[in-house]
Structure 1
Amino acid sequence: MSEVLKPGQRYASEPGDAATAYGRHKPEGVDTSHGAILYLEDITVSFDGFRALNKLNLDISVGELRCIIGPNGAGKTTMMDVITGKTRPTTGGAWFGQTIDLTRMTEYDIAHAGIGRKFQRPTVFEQHTVFENLELAMKMNKRVKPTLFFRLSSEQKGKIDEILKLIRLNGQEHRPAGLLSHGQKQWLEIGMLLMQEPQLLLLDEPVAGMSDAETARTAELLNELRGLHSIVVVEHDMAFVEEIAQQGVVTVLHEGSVLAQGTMQQVQSDDRVIEVYLGR
């Protein structure tokens, strides 16, 4: 982990640069010159006197896959709500890169800036095909006139083909999304997010309700995305977390703040984490 400093001087280390089948990860329009793409500083969210977040501090490096775990009510969803502009913090700062203050932006502007969020239940256009879902999600001019006369370029078709392979749905592109399995719908929604070219992906319990085989394939997918996008995964499935955490950082939230942080092995052996979450 790089050292965490304040906005304008923080994040001393430079990230690595990873290549992909569809390009190299270089956040555009986001100043990540000091190595981190997200920084939460002393975030507090109060609802009628109850602190859902309590002076939460968190930083995510460029290209990092961070797992966030913790008991129900720990503040995981509220944290994601703050990052995406759904909830305004009572106090504290939320920064996307060095200069983008998320607390001053709308949900739309945050999404447009490069933060994509996937909720636990998949949201796809079930009457449209897999290909059409990806086409509809593509980052482009959505005004009426350009949309009426829009035709996919060969480059855009190529990008959809690459995403189809990545999300394990090549060969299913003409199938209505409503006929996909639960796991396939989850993959399609991840693909739809990727079509929007996000710099930061927030995934809320991505394997909830999946079969063992689908869970394993989702772990493979996220490991392939590691380093290509910055990813925050909130999850309760500890076997899945072990698969994707590898030697990365796992953050444990409890009562709205960070209880413990480190490798999966370190947090699993932490007595405080065992007491409040993992059990003995």
Structure 2
Amino acid sequence: MIGGRFLGQNRRSAAPRLDLSHNIILYLEGISVSFDGFKALNDLNLYIEAGELRCIIGPNGAGKTTMMDVITGKTRPDTGSAWFGQTVDLLSLSEPEIATAGIGRKFQKPTIFPNHTTFENLELAMAGDKAVWKVLFARISSEQADRIDSVLRTIGLSDKRNVLAGSLSHGQKQWLEIGMLLMQSPELLLVDEPVAGMTPQETERTAELLVSLSGTHSVVVVEHDMAFVRSIARTVTVLHQGSVLAEGSMDQVQNDPKVIEVYLGD
């Protein structure tokens, strides 16, 4: 696996069956995590619906990154449970197994292969059990090429397919990494501060992209840019001191006295 996320994962054969019969794709219940006496998460309860676009906001130290670390298996909680659908116990799986199960995570800093083209980056990220060198030198099928073309259109980089990824703009690199996750057909996407450092035009395009992915995928966005959150949010969850402080529409949380006091009013 290169970059910790993309290669050597055969999702088609290894992924446990996802049960969305209750329309909830992610359950976090009673999750607590402590680091050297500091409680990063404190009895956190969070539920994400299938196909939902959820925005998570909160001040630094609120527990946003630790929450994503728990979901992806990087951090094990002291207490609580984490379920992917009705039947997949995330706390019993390793990080690669969680990725294989259908959870993709995009970090703030894009992880791409700068010396390969945009097309080749998506090819490398393609789900399957091929070894790296086989991927690099094998001929891809017409179906696989069509899949890559479809993702290129989704992320708005069709005209950059033969451009080295290292020469892309900051925003384009972010979109490419989202495309690399999409190549594995994840059910749930975790996206960390996607518009940090972007131009206004890139920020607008990123909003359109994330909104377009919801429905087909469940998308959880952690972001500090309140204007961006307002442009995409249906439901906003506010974390504070490792717990959910408020949840609702952007208008509801912005007008919540508790939220104003600890976050938005700063």
Is the TM value for this pair above 0.5? yes
Higher mean C-alpha displacement, 194-203 vs 146-155? 146-155
Please state how far the C-alpha of 1:90 moved relative to its aligned partner: 0.3
Please state how far the C-alpha of 1:82 moved relative to its aligned partner: 0.1
- What is the identity percentage for the equivalent residue pairs of Structure 1 and Structure 2? 69
> 1:38 aligned to 2:19?
no
- Distance, in Å, in 2 between the alignment partners of 1:142 and 1:211 is 37
Kindly indicate whether the alpha-carbon contact (under 8 Å) linking 2:50 and 2:218 is maintained by their aligned counterparts in 1: yes
Please state how far the C-alpha of 1:194 moved relative to its aligned partner: 0.1
- Distance, in Å, in 1 between the alignment partners of 2:16 and 2:160 is 32
Please state how far the C-alpha of 1:122 moved relative to its aligned partner: 0.5
When residues 220 and 28 of structure 1 are mapped into structure 2, their CA distance, relative to the original with a 3 A threshold, is farther
Query: Which residue of the partner structure matches residue 76 of structure 1?
Result: 64
> 1:269 aligned to 2:251?
no
- Of 151, 156, 175, which aligns to 1:163? 151
Amino acid at match of 1:134: L
* CA deviation map 1:151-187 (0-9, x unaligned): 2111111111111111010110000000000000000
When residues 28 and 62 of structure 1 are mapped into structure 2, their CA distance, relative to the original with a 3 A threshold, is farther
* CA deviation map 1:117-175 (0-9, x unaligned): 00000010000000000000001122479648732111111111111111010110000
Query: Which residue of the partner structure matches residue 129 of structure 1?
Result: 117
When residues 145 and 163 of structure 1 are mapped into structure 2, their CA distance, relative to the original with a 3 A threshold, is closer
Q: Which runs of 5+ in 1 are unaligned?
A: 1-26
Query: Which residue of the partner structure matches residue 105 of structure 1?
Result: 93
- Of 68, 73, 95, which aligns to 2:83? 95
When residues 151 and 95 of structure 1 are mapped into structure 2, their CA distance, relative to the original with a 3 A threshold, is same
Query: Which residue of the partner structure matches residue 194 of structure 1?
Result: 182
Q: How do residues 1-280 of structure 1 correspond to structure 2 at under 5 angstroms?
A: 29-143=17-131, 147=135, 150-245=138-233, 248-279=234-265
SS state of the match for residue 159, structure 2? Answer: coil
When residues 144 and 221 of structure 1 are mapped into structure 2, their CA distance, relative to the original with a 3 A threshold, is closer
- Distance, in Å, in 2 between the alignment partners of 1:158 and 1:109 is 27
- Distance, in Å, in 1 between the alignment partners of 2:34 and 2:16 is 33
When residues 149 and 106 of structure 1 are mapped into structure 2, their CA distance, relative to the original with a 3 A threshold, is same
* CA deviation map 1:186-222 (0-9, x unaligned): 0000000000110100000010110010000000111
- Distance, in Å, in 1 between the alignment partners of 2:133 and 2:107 is 31
Please state how far the C-alpha of 1:223 moved relative to its aligned partner: 1.1
Higher helix share: 2
Please state how far the C-alpha of 1:279 moved relative to its aligned partner: 0.8
Amino acid at match of 2:85: G
Using the size of structure 1 for normalisation, the TM-score is 0.87
Structure with more contact order per residue of length (Cα contacts < 8 Å, sep ≥ 6): 2
- Distance, in Å, in 2 between the alignment partners of 1:131 and 1:52 is 39
Kindly indicate whether the alpha-carbon contact (under 8 Å) linking 1:141 and 1:147 is maintained by their aligned counterparts in 2: no
SS state of the match for residue 121, structure 1? Answer: coil
SS state of the match for residue 171, structure 1? Answer: helix
- Distance, in Å, in 2 between the alignment partners of 1:69 and 1:149 is 43
Amino acid at match of 2:174: Q
The CA RMSD over aligned residues, in Å, is 1.5
Kindly indicate whether the alpha-carbon contact (under 8 Å) linking 1:39 and 1:94 is maintained by their aligned counterparts in 2: yes
Using the size of structure 2 for normalisation, the TM-score is 0.92
Kindly indicate whether the alpha-carbon contact (under 8 Å) linking 2:154 and 2:209 is maintained by their aligned counterparts in 1: yes
Query: Which residue of the partner structure matches residue 20 of structure 1?
Result: none
